[in-house]
Chains A and B, each alone.
Chain A
């Protein structure tokens, strides 16, 4: 892969019930990403937006945000899914001979729709949609399958929630920074056991944008470019009953490919910081294993040991993660944006000192049917 850098990032603050409409949110992050990169719109060769007609409450929702993303008068396209996938498509377009720079945007106002009903529309209309499952209840099936198989405890999941909400106190964009204890999580109301209120990501509105550039379009600006070393995505079987819910097979495959591209041999040693899509606390543990941060079933011990805490050897979700801000379709791109800040050394109070290699991760679908893994570095693959 040729060298491509992320040269600009922007996020809104994540909140519930933002009064700006989603086109205004997209404009806000597009403008800020350009400023961050020190570019003007004229420097952008093409645009990749991200929409979902159900969440956006509009057919062909890409129309509604096209102008706001600055795509009028230039090539544009639109992905439906997590922002890590939009960014991946943006990377492909940047790697082709056609475009040198790509602006990628994603937005969601989860609070404006009926997220449980919208999630239910992912289930098969001729089979199990009638059961009425949503993100919480279906994920609870995955949580138990995983926890039962490996003896992961609810307290260990709670520790993820405590860590991430605590980290969120250092992130000005986070929606739900909290100073809580394992006991608080354990005592929070059970929604669908083993998932409790404080194991669940909030309903958030927000937007995120990044700008990708080919090596010859990376200017010596005020921001340090962050280089893409490896990316891959993978999708598991559709029906829950056809999947081994206790393992993240699609994540293992995506990680294997992304690591191979990036030349990462031992992720637990080489990666300095990771931002993963923890829509539920158990997910972060299951993703540790899929990402090879530890062996199968060892995540409980990993979180107990503090390795993934801010002071540990491999901090995960210094931003507070998705548990602290969950604008659907935005959350994966926000993971990338956070890794960029880490590798620039601009992550403020949530900075992992000296971070040189970072991992960002996104999911989409029922029980994370699709995973996308990004490996980012502060240095290009080949010397410039």
Chain B
């Protein structure tokens, strides 16, 4: 029998640029213990685990088996899922389907990365096809920069509009004790930060972090007994683009549109701006926080800068985005998108402390990675 599923516990490390004091298993263990404590559970209560990261970022094959001392999955089921930057979203979905299938009652998803331990750029460049595209692939920044340059030209947006997104996310992070970068910044500082790839500047970009996140999912039979206000999963959806980067339509973002449309339909959302109370979005660059709002149907084409200038997506606005500080402040890649889900769940559960948005009934979390692989989750305070 298929089961309704809710998030009942969230744990994460205090994310930072380098965790030289712990190895990977120990880093995972911190998040796992915090998630158990948050849910008031012990390891004995966990029926199955899913774990994910990116192979070439740590150089450990089969982290599912390697993780046992950290994850606690000894003599229990554990499997690994991975889809690049979107791994955290894939993990959340996997834990959700573990429970929704009716086969497991309580399942833990664990995402982690120690970005400080490898040459991330050397590793990520190997995601391009070795025969056709690897020699000139330069990572994620180029395509996103080109996307925003085109957008500015078409809709009269400015670099300052993106800078306002950066300011919003960075300054929200001041309220999040787990965030990696917690420093007050201004639009002027963003504009004056070093240009990386026009028009994206250093403060428009995500950092690389060491960190882990663990999220506990439980069935309708268990969730209400574990958490007073569980965050019920109402839908997940995912889409990805073609294999070759050269094939993409950088202007249309068809995969984000498909993911958003599908997840809204499954969750019965018709007007995201009105129906959703808070979003935790995987925005690797501030520019994405301008353009992608439109591809998520939050507003019409070209309208996003206006809403940003009005503060619609700020903490006190109509639809707060990234109260946690988002990816621009914290980015342990395999964990990043799971943190989005965990933060969205905390908002629904009313446990987001200083970063809490009042009265959250519906929240959305997204993931982004690899071949424009977008994954989205809708969470609600009510089961149905």
Contacts and interface: CB of A to CB of B under 8 A. Distances in A.
B83 interface: yes
Given A59-B54, A73-B239, A234-B76, A126 B130 contact: no
Nearest to A127: B23
Give the secondary structure class of A's interface.
mixed
A77 B127 contact: no
B97 A235 contact: no
Contacts of B74: 235-237
Nearest to B5: A96
Interface residues of A, number: 62
A32 to B, nearest CB: 20
B2 A1 contact: no
Interface string B94-114: 100110111100000000000
B66 interface: yes
Nearest to B53: A80
B84 A63 contact: yes
Contact of A369 (B65, B123, B125, B370): B65
Contact of B78 (A124, A235, A253): A235
Contacts of B82: 51, 53, 60, 62, 78, 80
Contacts of A125: 59-60
B65 A250 contact: no
B370 A60 contact: yes
A229 interface: no
A370 interface: yes
A77 B81 contact: yes
A286 B24 CA distance: 32
Contacts of A253: 75
Contact of A1 (B76, B102, B124, B126): B102
A72 interface: yes
Nearest to B4: A97
**Which of A1, A71, A80, A366 gathers most chain B CB within 10 Å?**
A80
B199 interface: no
A109 to B, nearest CB: 13
A75 B237 contact: yes
Best-buried of A74, A78, A91, A94 by chain B (most CB within 10 Å): A78
A93 B101 contact: yes
Given A58-B130, A92-B103, A95-B103, A80 B80 contact: yes
Size bracket of the B interface: 35 or more
B73 interface: yes
A330 to B, nearest CB: 16
A238 B66 contact: yes
A368 B57 CA distance: 24
B94 A62 contact: no
B93 interface: yes
A370 B64 contact: yes
A249 B93 CA distance: 29
B187 interface: no
Interface stretch (A81-89, A143-151, A164-172, A272-280): A81-89
Nearest to B70: A238
A131 interface: no
Interface in B230-251: 236-243
Contacts of A64: 129, 243
B84 A59 contact: yes
Which among A77, A93, A237 has the highest number of chain B CB atoms within 10 Å?
A77
B240 A98 contact: no
B371 interface: yes
Q: Which 7 A-B pairs have the closest CB atoms?
A: A60-B84, A53-B55, A92-B101, A95-B101, A365-B65, A96-B100, A121-B61
5 contacts: A58-B126, A95-B2, A118-B61, A122-B66, A370-B64
Interface of A: 1-2, 23, 51-54, 57-60, 62-64, 66-67, 71-81, 85, 88-89, 91-98, 118-119, 121-122, 124-126, 231-238, 249-250, 253-254, 364-366, 369-370
Interface of B: 1-2, 23, 54-56, 59-62, 64-69, 73-84, 90, 93-94, 97-98, 100-103, 123-127, 129-130, 236-243, 258, 262, 266, 369-371, 373
